[in-house]
Amino acid sequence: MVLLAGPALYRSLGGSGPSLDQAVLYSNILFGGAIPFWTLLLLQAALRGAGNVKIPAMIIVGGAVAGLILSPALINGWLCAPRMGVAGAGVAQVLCNITALGLVVVYMRSPSSTLRLRRYPLQRKHFSAILGVGLLSAINAVMSAVSVTALTAAAGAISVAAIAGYGIASRLDILLVPVMFGFGTAAITLVGTNLGAGNVVRARRVAIVNVLFVAGVVGLVGLLVSLFPQLWLGLFTSDSAVMAVGAQYLRVVAPYYAVIGVIFELYFAGQGAQRILWPMTASVVRCVFALAAMGLVVEGYASLHTAFILVAISIVVAATISLLGFLRTRWDR
């Protein structure tokens, strides 16, 4: 679908001319090799669920290091590699993903793995168990992606520089997701294990401690970049127009990174307790705010700065909903 509709999609988000050509080129390469990447993520999740977090972590770190070497080499033509421009970033990502998938499959087929990868008959009960939580979680992830896409469209309605500025600034949001995700998956395991043992008090204590810790970590990052946005933006650009939009976003949204940490970690705790109605409601609210911000900017009723303010408001509202849900929902049923 992305290969066929990519040009129209990126054009609707404000892409045109060379920027549109580069986006389509990178997208075609990346999505052309998407299935190995998605398979890799699912196998890593299965290993973590079985208590093996070491191998997935080693694969992720190894892939990141390889990408840091291979990407600039293919983009710029270093180390006797062909100079591919932005296409090199996509090729490097696909090659790293395929290699990582091969390593995971070999490991999970070996006696060293406690979770063995082999053919197994499909059973309805497995689908029910996975989809009971996984389907809603997938919808939540889609809403997060829609929110980012909506704001990209809002930036696209302003200028290419606005797209670049928002894209660079929001990359920091995305960079913090693995941190919140890592501690969140630990919370899922600990909450679920304790609830399975009937220790509700300890399960809720785990959720609270995890929320406070993660909110503190990402909150410090947010405070730093909101005060000194050039520390992050300067790594990518020196263009004044791009820097202005990026700094505007970070000054408005980054101070609320700690609040985003609260939303994320309460969502993961809710997954472990199989109580995700309130966290899902919070995600819906954030998505609605993002779509509203896009509509107002595209129709000319609001500036991009106003859209960023709406994003910040949605974060606070969503966190309030998540906290109320956590306090009101019993886990002992």
Q: Is the pLDDT of residue 193 over 90?
A: no
Q: What is the mean pLDDT of residues 160-176?
A: 91
In a domain, 234, yes or no: yes
Q: Is the pLDDT of residue 110 over 80?
A: yes
Q: How far apart are CA 213 and CA 240, in angstroms?
A: 36
240 and 291 share one domain: yes
Q: What is the pLDDT of residues 31-66, one digit of tens each?
A: 999 999 999 999 998 898 787 888 998 998 899 899
Q: What is the pLDDT of residues 234-275, one digit of tens each?
A: 999 999 999 999 999 999 999 999 999 999 999 999 988 888
Q: Are 185 and 268 in contact (CB under 8 A)?
A: yes
Contacts of 277 (CB under 8 A, 6+ apart): 325, 329
Contacts of 295 (CB under 8 A, 6+ apart): none
Domain that holds residue 278: 125-328
Q: What is the pLDDT of residues 294-304, one digit of tens each?
A: 999 999 999 99
170 and 289 share one domain: yes
Q: What is the per-residue DSSP string for 108-135? A: HTSTT-SS--------HHHHHHHHHHHH
- Counting the structural domains of the chain, the total is 2
Match 């906290």 to its residue by tokens: 323
Sign of CA dihedral 313, 316, 318, 324: negative
- Which of 89, 117, 145 represents a domain boundary (last residue)? 117
pTM for this entry:
0.77
Q: Are 303 and 221 in contact (CB under 8 A)?
A: no
- Which of 117, 140, 164 represents a domain boundary (last residue)? 117
Q: How far apart are CA 84 and CA 90, in angstroms?
A: 10
Q: Are 114 and 129 in contact (CB under 8 A)?
A: no
Q: How far apart are CA 184 and CA 280, in angstroms?
A: 15
Q: How far apart are CA 29 and CA 97, in angstroms?
A: 12
Q: What is the mean pLDDT of residues 168-189?
A: 88
133 and 178 share one domain: yes
Q: How far apart are CA 59 and CA 277, in angstroms?
A: 33
Average model confidence (pLDDT) across the chain = 91
Split at pLDDT 50, 70, 90, the class of 333 is: low
Split at pLDDT 50, 70, 90, the class of 203 is: very high
